[in-house]
Amino acid sequence: MNTSIQIGRIMGIPIKLHITFLLILPVFAYFFSVNPAPFGFNDVTLPITRYALSLSAAISLFICVLLHELGHSYVAKRHGTKIQNITLFLFGGVSSMEEIPRDPKIEFKMALAGPSVSLLIGSILIIIYEFFSLDNISTTINNPYMRITWLIGYINIILFAFNLLPAFPMDGGRVLRAWLAGRMSYIKATRTAAGIGKMFAIFMGIFGLFAGLWFILIAFFIYIGASEEEKSTEITVVLEGVKIKDIMSRNVTPVTPGMSVEELVDFMFRYKHMGYPVVNDSDVKGIVTFTDVQKVPKEERKNVRISEIMTKDLITLREDDDAVSALKLMTVNNIGRIIITKEKQIVGIVSRTDILRSVQLLE
């Protein structure tokens, strides 16, 4: 199920809205509509105006979050990192990058870019508000249209400060890792930053027991994020220098496109693999996996051919490519195995299981 909707591109980067964003947007709008000035608009008597202002404030807030992520992405692109997309989620935005640069100086710049954008937006909006408030600040704050300027500016300043907390993998945690990586190995810096991030998440969770569920949810995502990035970094470091030819399976048994799905299931029982290249007259036509089989009802498998369910858009690598490249491709494309070719002939296949088993052995 596709849980994100692409709404456009900025700087060539696909901008997506996650389903959780579509759910939280009206919640934020409601929050602004029921809160008093200066943090809401419940003093606006006309309901349609009150809700329009509240929704505008909520949309403006998430536009600022998007600009925050574009700050990260701009610096990343300047240093050669490919940005796959920016997705707006329940708790903000996420820039999906092919790889976090291992150069501490570049990571430091990238991590600071987002909060700097938030600080810039917040400062400009507060200055604009203060300029119009020179004569009478009480009159200005009672103007709901000027109140949006102050509210979004204030929230951006809070976002700036919050994002710089040393809770890895938040921006402040990445700044911390970049600083540590200049003084110790990259993997040790990641473990240290992740450990601090997890501790921070635990304290935030305890605080949330008294302050509210929101803090507990944020703490949960920080803890999970720190754990996942720590493991991801360890895997990448461990696999450095490992070639696909060192870990791939060479005894590849292909199947033909005319084989029925029922025959394929028997084939899988016999050879104990969950994915096979589909070959016709020495030409690789595609790849078929157990996931493809599951999409076919059991009673129809006898009449459905592999050619009807196989994946035709093949992703291949060479045996001299890095194992890390295979893992990245699998993650980005959400696949479990990649065919390895040499001069257009199949020489092997590498699966996610092959890679993770190798990581366990190398560790």
End-to-end CA distance of the chain: 35
Exposure string of 300-316, with b = 16+ CB inside 10 Å and e = fewer, is: ebeebebbebbeeeeeb
Cβ proximity of 144 and 39 under 8 Å: no
Of the residues 69, 107, 229, 230, only one is catalytic, namely 69
> In the chain, which residue ranges form alpha helices assigned H by DSSP?
19-34, 47-78, 104-132, 137-141, 144-163, 171-181, 186-211, 213-238, 244-247, 261-271, 290-294, 306-309, 323-333, 352-362
31's CB contacts (< 8 A; 6+ apart) are: 40, 54
Residue 295's closest CA among 314, 309, 275?
309
Q: Which residue has the tokens 């076919």?
A: 296
Query: How far is Cα 353 from Cα 9, in angstroms, rounded to an integer?
Result: 35
What is the spatial distance between Cα 296 and Cα 175, in angstroms, rounded to a whole number?
Answer: 49
Q: What's 249's DSSP letter?
A: B
Strands 345-351 and 337-342: antiparallel
Half-sphere exposure of 23 (CA within 13 A, CB side): 8
Active site residue 69: yes
Q: Can you name the residues that pair with 341 across neighbouring β-strands?
A: 346
d(CA 131, CA 134): 6
Q: How far apart are CA 23 and CA 20, in angstroms?
A: 5
Give the closest residue to 251 by CA, choosing from 269, 281, 271.
Answer: 271
Residues labelled catalytic: 69
